[in-house]
Amino acid sequence: MLTSPLLPQTLGYIAGQWTRGDARSTLTVINPATGEPLAEVPDMGAADTTSAIGAAARVMAEPLPVAQRRDWLRGVSQSLLADKQEFGRIITLENGKPHREGIAETEYAAGFFSYFADQLHHLGPEVLPQPIRGARWTIHHRPAGVAALITPWNFPLAMLAKKIAPALAAGCAVVVKPSELTPLSAIALCAVLERVGVPAGWCNLVCGAPGPIGDVICSHPAVRMVSFTGSTRVGKLLLEKTAPHVKRLALELGGNAPFIVFDDADLYAAVEALMANKFRAGGQTCVCANRIFVQRGILDRFTQAAAQRVSQLRVGNGMDPATDIGPLINRAVFEKVERHVSDALKKGAACLTAAAVTRADSSDRTWGHFYPPTVLTGIRPNMALTQEETFGPVVAVIAFEDEAEAIARANDTPYGLAGYVFTADPQRGQRVAARIQCGHVGINTGTGPTPEAPFGGMKESGLGREGGVEGLLEFCQTQTVADK
């Protein structure tokens, strides 16, 4: 079992109390690298979610002074940085990613708290420069109301930081529901909020299976904002369930990122960018390249260079400093990757790396969902891995002839989260960026989001933005006061 000074208990947190609530059973948190149990957390449900929402609604009756919000946000950022090694260890143990990535995730999470601490002046109020119809007009950004925050397992700390920091900055009390696979980082973060002095009721946490918790969040009248990161499937479900109650929604959903490399690109820089982008968290990120479009003239050189780099990656336990790629989070994710690769091979793709895992290699192992990094070429549109995000360490290379074809194929998906273009021609870079339907575009870089800039999806990849001033205003409702 995991022992950590950051986790004196592994319970829910409601109205300032660490609690099992009404849970009659527990959920076991498993280390995906070893199959060992790390902790038991209470399987809380509808009654506890109602209590958590009630606690949040009660404290919101009295707004928090802005200066106090700023101090808490700064305090959380400093605590995360001070404990980044240990936070990184918790992330690695429950998620599987290499420890250095867990530390980097903690630094990234801290960045959201410090960034939003510095953005409170955007909340206004703003007075229009001259009277209109004899009245003075003032625009306020009021807190949206109680905000429910639902987060996935792939960045168990950062995905929550992106939501809690702007929510508290905006003056919203929150109810947090982390993934049942990775609740420990969220529990440790709530403990930090408690330590820096965020008063009881402003941050509440319920652990448990998603159905009953989600249903209360969607239907309870006091929840005015639902901020969700996860799959497009569940995002659509939340849209349906909240529609009758007209709640604000921010949805950060799935991607199917195109990574386009033109003949004139710096080939080795593009390969290095692909390595950093594709293999972070073992390929289990929403922004990682899913379809690698390479122009015909450099196709062979690019795929050989990529295959050579990929074959150097070391797969193993994330706590081993030599590890580049940890295990996939669970059997279901492993089987999806396996299905995508075998479907592609069956339909004529070629594998340029050691070997794709076969069912015979893997089915006798209950734990340790280690998938070997794989490079495939000859990918065609009828293959599953071009249509859905693979969420695993697979580089799927697709040949293209010209710019128009690259753009058309990049956009041939219902998703539109991140996209990348590599070219020596700056005008072409800008032209392609303007035409690919993605909320985040990298030109000659595979970098993902940053606290200072808005990030979010087009098409079925989501609604709303996280990060930047837009990320703060998501948690606000605008009120205009005409005062005569």
Q: Looking at residue 364, what DSSP letter applies?
A: T
Asked if 332 touches ligand NAP (CB under 6 A), the answer is no
Q: Determine if the peptide bond prior to 178 is cis (ω within 30°).
A: no
Which residue of the set 94, 105, 252, 403 is catalytic?
A: 252
Asked if 154 touches ligand NAP (CB under 6 A), the answer is yes
Asked if 108 touches ligand NAP (CB under 6 A), the answer is no
> Using an 8 Å Cβ cutoff, are 249 and 463 in contact?
yes
- The single residue among 98, 152, 442, 464 that binds ligand NAP, judged by CB under 6 A, is 152
- The single residue among 143, 230, 373, 393 that binds ligand NAP, judged by CB under 6 A, is 230
DSSP-based three-state secondary structure for 170? helix
Q: How far is CA 354 from CA 9, 343, 351, 371, 389, in A?
A: 43, 18, 8, 12, 22
- The single residue among 75, 145, 166, 254 that binds ligand NAP, judged by CB under 6 A, is 254
Asked if 94 touches ligand NAP (CB under 6 A), the answer is no
**Does the annotation mark 194 as catalytic?**
no
Work out the burial of residue 480: count CB atoms within 10 Å of its CB; fewer than 13 is exposed, 13-18 middle, 19 or more buried: exposed
Nearest to 211, CA basis, from 180, 186, 253, 190: 180
Asked if 252 touches ligand NAP (CB under 6 A), the answer is yes
Judged by CB under 6 A, the stretch of 224-232, 316-324, 339-347, 362-370 that binds ligand NAP is 224-232
* Least distance in angstroms from the C-beta of 388 to ligand NAP: 9
**Does the annotation mark 286 as catalytic?**
yes
- The single residue among 253, 275, 398, 469 that binds ligand NAP, judged by CB under 6 A, is 253
Residue whose CB is less far from ligand NAP, 229 or 386: 229
Asked if 166 touches ligand NAP (CB under 6 A), the answer is no
* Phi, psi torsion values for 14, nearest 5 degrees: -135, 130
Q: How far is CA 432 from CA 258, 416, 436, in A?
A: 12, 14, 6
Judged by CB under 6 A, the stretch of 84-92, 185-193, 206-214, 426-434 that binds ligand NAP is 206-214
Nearest to 262, CA basis, from 399, 430, 105: 399
Element at 50 (helix H, strand E):
helix 46-59
Residue whose CB is less far from ligand NAP, 171 or 392: 392
* Least distance in angstroms from the C-beta of 105 to ligand NAP: 12
Asked if 49 touches ligand NAP (CB under 6 A), the answer is no
Place of tokens 């059997």: 331
C-alpha 356: how far from its chain's center?
A: 27
Token pair listed for 368: 């340790």
Site string for ligand NAP, 386-415 (x = CB under 6 A): ---x--------------------------
- The single residue among 167, 203, 286, 344 that binds ligand NAP, judged by CB under 6 A, is 286
Cα–Cα distance measured from residue 44 to residue 229, given in angstroms and rounded to the nearest whole number: 20
Which residue of the set 207, 286, 288, 438 is catalytic?
A: 286
For residue 253, give the amino acid letter.
Answer: L
For residue 385, give the amino acid letter.
Answer: L
Taking CB positions, which residue lies at the least distance from ligand NAP? 214
Asked if 96 touches ligand NAP (CB under 6 A), the answer is no
Site size toward ligand NAP, by CB under 6 A = 27
Residue whose CB is less far from ligand NAP, 152 or 468: 152
Asked if 377 touches ligand NAP (CB under 6 A), the answer is no
Residue environment code for 18-31, b if the CB has 16+ CB neighbours within 10 A, otherwise e: bbbbebeeebebbb
Nearest to 153, CA basis, from 32, 287, 12, 315: 32
Give contact residues for ligand NAP (rule: CB under 6 A). 150-154, 159, 177, 179-181, 210-211, 214, 229-231, 234, 237, 252-255, 286, 389, 417, 457, 462
Active site residues: 252, 286
